[in-house]
Amino acid sequence: MAGVTDREPDPVPAATPDGEAATSTDGFAALDLVGGVDTTTSVTYPAGDLAPLLKDAAALIKADIGVKVIALNLGGWDHHTDLVTRLGALAPQLADALAAFHQDLGAQAATTLTLCMTEFGRRAAENGDGGTDHGHGGVMIALGGGIAGGRVITKNNQWPGLATANLFNGEDLQVTTDFRDVFAEALNRHMLVNVSSLAPVFPGFSVAASNFPGLYS
């Protein structure tokens, strides 16, 4: 999960006489700066592991101390067994925490893009233990940041289907959109990074605006 908050391109660091990049603060000063942020809020966050992380993230963003990207992790999604019960408890935790985070940001939600993604997809069919095993296609969620929300985006507006003949190797949901195209569109449209400058960010991957999924349209 990444909350991207700054639309201005990063300045190029100035070089010192020794050839090293000069920065405005050292690591210890940065830690002091972050440690001094007031995390109190009038918004009520739900219980769970993710909520306090998002609460702190919202505080850092609202403090306007130069935060550009925040990465957070929520585990517990590897449901090889008892998927219905376990997912039924974890999915609302994600939804409620994101809703509180969005509310807490207030006006800054419009300039803060939140992306959620999974490490890997799941099989289309249930296994023998009431769960699903590792699969191919997955899902991503985008929130805020000026995107055109309220949609389910698929490649060329085509749902790949769950019929056995339409599944990857007859088992997994087909991948239609490379996750790197989602991040590339975010970097280009939200962070104002030129497409021509994205190659080092995605080694071995060809970035093209024509492959962007259309978060902003």
Say what the pTM is.
Answer: 0.84
Confidence band, pLDDT 50/70/90 cuts, at residue 158: confident
Kind of pairing between the strands at 134-135 and 121-122: antiparallel
> What would the two tokens of residue 206 be?
């060809």
**Does residue 173 surpass a pLDDT of 80?**
yes
The region of weakest confidence among 52-66, 117-131, 182-196, 198-212 is: 117-131
- Comparing CA positions, the residue from 37, 76, 81 lying closest to residue 56 is 37
List the chain domain ranges.
2-7+27-145
C-alpha distances out from residue 209 to 152, 159, 206, 212, Å: 20, 21, 10, 5
* CB distance 151 to 191 below 8 Å: no
Q: What is the gyration radius of the CA atoms in the chain, in angstroms?
A: 20
**Stretch 102-131: mean pLDDT, rounded?**
94
**Stretch 193-211: mean pLDDT, rounded?**
96
pLDDT tens-digit readout, 26-48:
788 888 888 899 999 999 999 99
- pLDDT recorded at residue 8: 54
> What would the two tokens of residue 195 be?
């497409």
- pLDDT recorded at residue 196: 96
| CA-CA-CA-CA torsion sign (161, 163, 166, 170) | positive
Confidence band, pLDDT 50/70/90 cuts, at residue 113: very high
The region of weakest confidence among 22-36, 43-57, 121-135 is: 22-36
- pLDDT recorded at residue 106: 96
- pLDDT recorded at residue 30: 83
Q: Which secondary structure element, helix H or strand E, spans residue 165, and what is its range?
A: none
Alpha-carbon distance of 104 to 143, in angstroms, equals: 14
- Those residues whose C-beta lies under 8 Å from the C-beta of residue 201, and which sit 6 or more positions away, are 183, 184, 187, 193
- pLDDT recorded at residue 15: 45
Alpha-carbon distance of 71 to 3, in angstroms, equals: 7
